[in-house]
Amino acid sequence: ETGVTQTPRHLVMGMTNKKSLKCEQHLGHNAMYWYKQSAKKPLELMFVYNFKEQTENNSVPSRFSPECPNSSHLFLHLHTLQPEDSALYLCASSQDRGGAESSDTQYFGPGTRLTVL
């Protein structure tokens, strides 16, 4: 496997279900990200992890719970979601050098298309 992988690719769940999205990066990067892409909206950053530590939570509702056990894996645990949470969830990774350099490119996975009934 190369690049950034995400599973599952498609997920349909009811509002009372609990499910998890998985992301794995094979690029040796130290930062990982969750984004939400809704129809006709710009990508919204949800969470950022650097060296397994969460460095940004972009006012995301608590029904979304991220987990980063190591620099290669990132999960998004979902519970009691709402229909408006239906979207494409994209994971990305980058080598964040943390200095005054903004060229660190984020590489994205194929996304999980989530439908909440």
Partner 1 sequence: AQKITQTQPGMFVQEKEAVTLDCTYDTSDPSYGLFWYKQPSSGEMIFLIYQGSYDQQNATEGRYSLNFQKARKSANLVISASQLGDSAMYFCAMRGTTNTGANSKLTFGKGITLSVRP
Among 11, 48, 81, 114, binds partner 1 (CB under 8 A): 48
Do 93 and 107 touch, CB atoms closer than 8 A?
yes
Q: Which 3 state secondary structure label does DSSP give 59?
A: coil
Residues 1-30 that bind partner 1 (CB under 8 A): none
Number of residues that bind partner 1 (CB under 8 A): 31
Alpha-carbon Rg for the chain in angstroms: 14
Q: How far apart are CA 43 and CA 101, in angstroms?
A: 22
CB of 23 to partner 1, least distance (A): 13
Q: Which 3 state secondary structure label does DSSP give 77?
A: strand
**Residue 90 binds to partner 1 (criterion: CB under 8 A):** yes
Among 26, 98, 115, 117, binds partner 1 (CB under 8 A): 98
Exposure on the CB side of residue 116, measured as CA atoms within 13 A: 19
Residues 58-87 that bind partner 1 (CB under 8 A): none
Selection from 56, 105, 55, 60 nearest residue 87 by Cα: 60
Residue whose CB is less far from partner 1, 64 or 93: 93
Q: Where does this chain bind partner 1 (CB under 8 A)?
A: 31, 33, 40-43, 45, 48, 50, 55-56, 88, 90, 92, 96-111, 113
